[in-house]
Copies of this chain bind each other. A is one copy, B any other.
């Protein structure tokens, strides 16, 4: 059994980190799937998905500071010559993080830890409306 849903998230860009756990959880509930694998996937090449503890220090400061350290915005990116834009760092960060996350579904619940939430990171240089695809494969019984 396969279940698919999409939802949209408005971001501020600039390595905005947004907790999407509730939205993903709602899709799982709607699906009726009790045992399986759930994939969270962000459409586009300047955003990524991972997990973290959703507390203000990490969400508003520390993850952004990490990505700025490893792929600084002010560095020269050849990408920006191609399009005459300013988001080379956003592409690089998104590729390094990855656009998707696979999570087990056991007894109708994601196997996340208590302080482990699903987050979208939008690295682009402007506010964006992001599309998240949630795909679940598994069984309703059990």
| Residue interface bits A128-142, CB-to-B below 8 A is 1, else 0 | 000001110111001
The answer to whether A39 and B116 touch (CB under 8 A), given A2-B142, A78-B57, A142-B2, is no
Max count, chain B CB within 10 A of own CB: residue among A55, A62, A65, A81:
A62
Asked if B35 contacts A37 (CB within 8 A), the reply is no
List the number of copies, as a whole number.
Answer: 3
Are A137 and B138 neighbours in the complex by a CB distance under 8 Å?
A: yes
Closest B residue to A39 by CB, please name it: B102
Can you list 19 A-B pairs with a CB-CB distance of less than 8 A? A2-B35, A2-B36, A37-B37, A39-B102, A39-B103, A39-B104, A41-B111, A45-B51, A45-B52, A45-B53, A50-B99, A55-B82, A62-B88, A62-B91, A62-B92, A66-B92, A70-B70, A100-B102, A104-B134
Enumerate chain A interface residues (CB-CB to B < 8 A).
Answer: 1-2, 4, 35-37, 39, 41, 43-45, 50-53, 55-58, 60-63, 65-66, 69-71, 75, 77-83, 88, 91-92, 94-106, 111-113, 115-117, 119, 133-135, 137-139, 142
